[in-house]
Amino acid sequence: MRMYDLIAKKKKGEELTTEEIRYMIGGFTDGSIPDYQMSAMTMAICFQGMSKRETVDLTLAMRDSGEVLDLSGIKGVKVDKHSTGGVGDKTSLALTPIVAALGVPVAKMSGRGLGHTGGTIDKLECFEGFTTGISDETFVRNVNEIGIAIAGQTANLAPADKKLYALRDVTATVDQMSLIASSIMSKKLASGSDAIVLDVKTGNGAFMKKFEDSVALAEEMVSIGTMAGKKTAAVITDMDQPLGYAVGNSLEVLEAIETLNGNGPEDFKEVVFALGSLMLQLGGKAQDDAEARSMMETVITDGSAKKKFAEFIEAQGGDASPIYDTSLLEIAKTEVPVVADCDGYVHRILAEEIGIACMSLGGGRETKESEIDLSVGIVLKKKKGDVVKTGDTLAVIYGNDSEKIARASELICHAYEIESTPAEKLPVIRKYIFSE
């Protein structure tokens, strides 16, 4: 078999066989197929696409390129949750303790933020001492004893995807549906859970800006998961404005804790409940959505979800005291309001610009090596559909550097689209996708 022939075949729009895909991924992982040939192949895929069968084969080949975690030592139906990435997306922080408090074991791999989107690991590191660098044994023990463990993605988990993603990133071949779906699902399948719930974002701050593209991506991922023998479901959620009010690590942790106290923003709570409901149903703990929602309300009201969050933070070396006294969270002391310069209604808040504003305050990474300031961020005061009068505060910046604050302020002003006509408030949950 020759990679040259496979590139030529795909260029003509023909389907690659299972053996050819396995040969390609094996050779690319061990270095015998060079980057330039693989780049030509990904570009051919961008133009010609891949069939469902090819996409599944690519996913499984990438899954098998490294270690596939064995979580059989964990009792119960392990449910993983994955978000395609957004701004103000602190969902895992509130969601995982809620479902764990209800008996669904959560064995989760999470990532760090890059670019305008945040990452769960950075947020968890707001708790002093917290680490995701735990051994496989501790991971399994914590899930069995507490119900939650969150680890970072190890180098040996789907290494073919790691290499391919880096290549796609510099060859303008990231935004192809089958490549995105196989990339995400190869890692999810390698992390060993029994069921997967996907939060696919749609809108300005998301990977997929168009609703139809987000639906197609979600359908593709649900069908891959199902074909690989995992119970899989997806929710399409709105990212045409940040989720909740807080953007920035410590501020988002604060908002997640408030949600566990029963005082969370409506849109954020709805995303947590929609995903939590699927996790409880796939995990066999609830019969239907109504039952799942009532169970989730109970563990918030009786404090057990919050207690679970503290147990989890402590089990991974963190100081959980900010969960009970949020004044202990380190939040930047300089507060600067961003005010409206016209009357009207908020039509859109460009989430990507808000994410970039947070990054420019020092709260996000431009490169993987960047150090971040966990204390900075933005709290929105107006959201889509709200009435605005000249001089009203649109958002408050929490920063540590006046130049960075000035830059963030400009970006936030630009992010708010205010018009004179009333704005329609779309629901945050746009669609559910289940396997056929």
Active site residues: 82, 161, 168, 183, 187
**Least Å from the CB of residue 52 to ligand URA:** 17
Q: Which residue type does 18 have?
A: T
Cβ burial of 148 (10 Å; 0-12, 13-18, 19+) is buried
Contacts with ligand URA in 191-220 (CB under 6 A)?
Answer: 207
Q: Which is nearer to ligand URA, 122 or 311 (CB)?
A: 122
Identify the CA nearest to 87 among candidates 324, 404, 357: 357
Per CB under 6 A, the segment of 8-16, 174-182, 272-280, 370-378 that binds ligand URA is: 174-182
Identify the CA nearest to 22 among candidates 51, 52, 65, 53: 65
First to last CA, the chain: 36
Task: Give the count of residues interacting with ligand URA (CB under 6 A).
Answer: 7
Per CB under 6 A, the segment of 91-99, 172-180, 277-285, 379-387 that binds ligand URA is: 172-180
Half-sphere exposure at residue 185, Cβ-oriented, CA atoms within 13 angstroms: 33
Identify the CA nearest to 38 among candidates 156, 184, 170, 158: 170
Q: Which is nearer to ligand URA, 243 or 296 (CB)?
A: 243
**Least Å from the CB of residue 357 to ligand URA:** 22
Given strand 377-380, what is the order of strands in its sheet? 246-247, 377-380, 393-399, 334-339
How far is residue 89's CA from residue 363's CA, in Å, rounded to a whole number?
Answer: 14
Contacts with ligand URA in 270-329 (CB under 6 A)?
Answer: none
Identify the CA nearest to 314 among candidates 129, 160, 188, 37: 129
Q: Three-state DSSP class for 312? A: helix
How far is residue 86's CA from residue 182's CA, in Å, rounded to a whole number?
Answer: 19
| Per-residue contact flags (x/-) with ligand URA for residues 105 to 144, judged by CB under 6 A | ----------------------------------------
**Contact status, residue 417 vs residue 347, Cβ threshold 8 Å:** yes
Half-sphere exposure at residue 10, Cβ-oriented, CA atoms within 13 angstroms: 26
**Least Å from the CB of residue 373 to ligand URA:** 25
Q: Which is nearer to ligand URA, 174 or 429 (CB)?
A: 174
**E strand intervals along 293-374:** 334-339, 344-349
Q: Which is nearer to ligand URA, 179 or 379 (CB)?
A: 179
Q: Which is nearer to ligand URA, 176 or 375 (CB)?
A: 176
Output the six-digit token pair for 283. Answer: 């995990």
Q: Which is nearer to ligand URA, 81 or 285 (CB)?
A: 81
DSSP 8-state secondary structure symbol assigned to residue 114? B
Identify the CA nearest to 374 among candidates 390, 361, 383: 361
Output the six-digit token pair for 67. Answer: 């270690």
**Least Å from the CB of residue 182 to ligand URA:** 8
Per CB under 6 A, the segment of 49-57, 137-145, 175-183, 331-339 that binds ligand URA is: 175-183
Q: Does 165 bind ligand URA (CB under 6 A)?
A: yes
**Least Å from the CB of residue 120 to ligand URA:** 14
Identify the CA nearest to 354 among candidates 417, 424, 419: 417
Q: Which is nearer to ligand URA, 180 or 247 (CB)?
A: 180
Contacts with ligand URA in 373-432 (CB under 6 A)?
Answer: none
* Residue from 24, 69, 180, 350 binding ligand URA (CB under 6 A): 180
Half-sphere exposure at residue 345, Cβ-oriented, CA atoms within 13 angstroms: 9
Strand-pair partners of 149:
107
**Least Å from the CB of residue 8 to ligand URA:** 25
Q: Does 184 bind ligand URA (CB under 6 A)?
A: yes
Per CB under 6 A, the segment of 52-60, 177-185, 250-258, 377-385 that binds ligand URA is: 177-185
Output the six-digit token pair for 303. Answer: 């404090």
The closest residue (CB) to ligand URA is 183
Q: Which is nearer to ligand URA, 110 or 360 (CB)?
A: 110
**Least Å from the CB of residue 370 to ligand URA:** 19
Q: Does 59 bind ligand URA (CB under 6 A)?
A: no
**Least Å from the CB of residue 179 to ligand URA:** 6
Binding residues (CB under 6 A) for ligand URA: these are 165, 174, 179-180, 183-184, 207
